[in-house]
Amino acid sequence: MSDELTFDLRELAAEGEKPPTLTGAEIRGRAVRRRRRRRTALAAAGTSVAGALALVVALSLGGGTDRELPPAASPTVTASPPATPDTTVDLGRRVLSVAGRHLPISVGTVKTPTPTGRMTVVRKKPVGVLTARDLGFSDKYDIKAPWVIVLGASDGSENFIATMTFDEKAPGNYDRTSGWIGLRQADAKWLYQQLSPGAVVDIEASTGTAPPTPAGVDGRGVATAGSTGADGGAATAGTGTGAGTSGG
């Protein structure tokens, strides 16, 4: 190669060569930083690998993390205790017990017994009309009765407690209703003030022996012909000893 050609090539190379943008110290600094980043990355990778290995070993020895966690507590369902009755009715003894008092009652006859079980006060009426059917009479015989407490059962049926204005001698002595519960007027008024809607009433069949029906009194509590009435006086045929149409 001739000297002239060699000179031209060197000149061309010198023109195309660009001076470095960084100094030698800056280049060395970059190299140092690159090495540090590589070491940090390798260390982090080593830590991750070690953690993964430790987890694998723990799972192998312990049989799974589910053994280390306590089982979830199952929800506890507590059955609500039955409501304590506010009132109990003993049909056999003809007694209604509430707030420490025992009130004499008259209930359904053998043909029309009073339903038993748990009932709830659903409404009250200061004055209600008792029809002949309510009274257990075959003829048309409606009266007004004060202090009526209506009871509801779980099956939707209803019964009631009311004043026996037509025969206040029946409560505690003999039964003469069509299934409802009869009280003397003063007791009925007191009970009306004691019980509110929602009160629970338990009606029990019997826990004792009821007093016998007075002699000479039929299933309606009416004295028969030629017999002695419930009040001890003589009764005439077809008249009652305590029945009346007066209402409260």
User: How is 33-67 classified by DSSP, letter by letter?
Assistant: HHHHHHHHHHHHHHHHHHHHHHHHHHHHHHS-GGG
Of 86, 97, 41, the C-alpha closest to 198 is 86
Mean pLDDT estimate for the chain? 72
Over 50: is that where the pLDDT of 233 sits? no
- Residues 71-81 have pLDDT tens digits of 555 555 444 54
Residue 219 in tokens: 């299933």
pLDDT of residue 142: 75
Over 70: is that where the pLDDT of 228 sits? no
- Residues 14-73 have pLDDT tens digits of 655 555 566 667 767 777 677 777 777 666 666 666 666 666 555 666 554 445 555 555
Q: Is 117 exposed, middle or buried (0-12, 13-18, 19+ CB in 10 A)?
A: middle
Average pLDDT of the segment spanning 195-212 = 80
Strand blocks (E) in the chain: 87-90, 95-98, 101-104, 117-130, 143-152, 158-163, 181-183, 200-204
H helix count then E strand count, the chain: 4, 8
pLDDT of residue 231: 36
Residue 8, helix vs strand vs coil = helix
Average pLDDT of the segment spanning 216-239 = 36
> Residue for token digits 């409260």?
248
Q: CA of 158: how far to CAs of 29, 120, 148, 207, in Å?
A: 99, 9, 13, 23
CB 166 within 8 A of CB 243: yes
- Residues 147-198 have pLDDT tens digits of 999 999 999 999 999 999 889 999 999 999 999 999 999 999 999 999 999 9
CB 243 within 8 A of CB 169: no
Lowest mean pLDDT among 105-114, 177-186, 209-218: 209-218
Residue 138's pLDDT band, with cuts at 50, 70 and 90, is: low
Q: For residues 243 and 98, which has the higher predicted lDDT (pLDDT)?
A: 98
Length of the chain: 248
Q: Is 185 exposed, middle or buried (0-12, 13-18, 19+ CB in 10 A)?
A: middle
Query: What is the distance, to the nearest Å, from the Cα of residue 223 to the centroid of all Cα atoms in its chain?
Result: 49
Q: CA of 71: how far to CAs of 62, 64, 150, 218, 238, in Å?
A: 16, 14, 52, 71, 80
> Domain 87-204 falls in which CATH fold?
L,D-transpeptidase catalytic domain-like (2.40.440)
Q: CA of 224: how far to CAs of 23, 164, 168, 228, in Å?
A: 138, 20, 18, 8
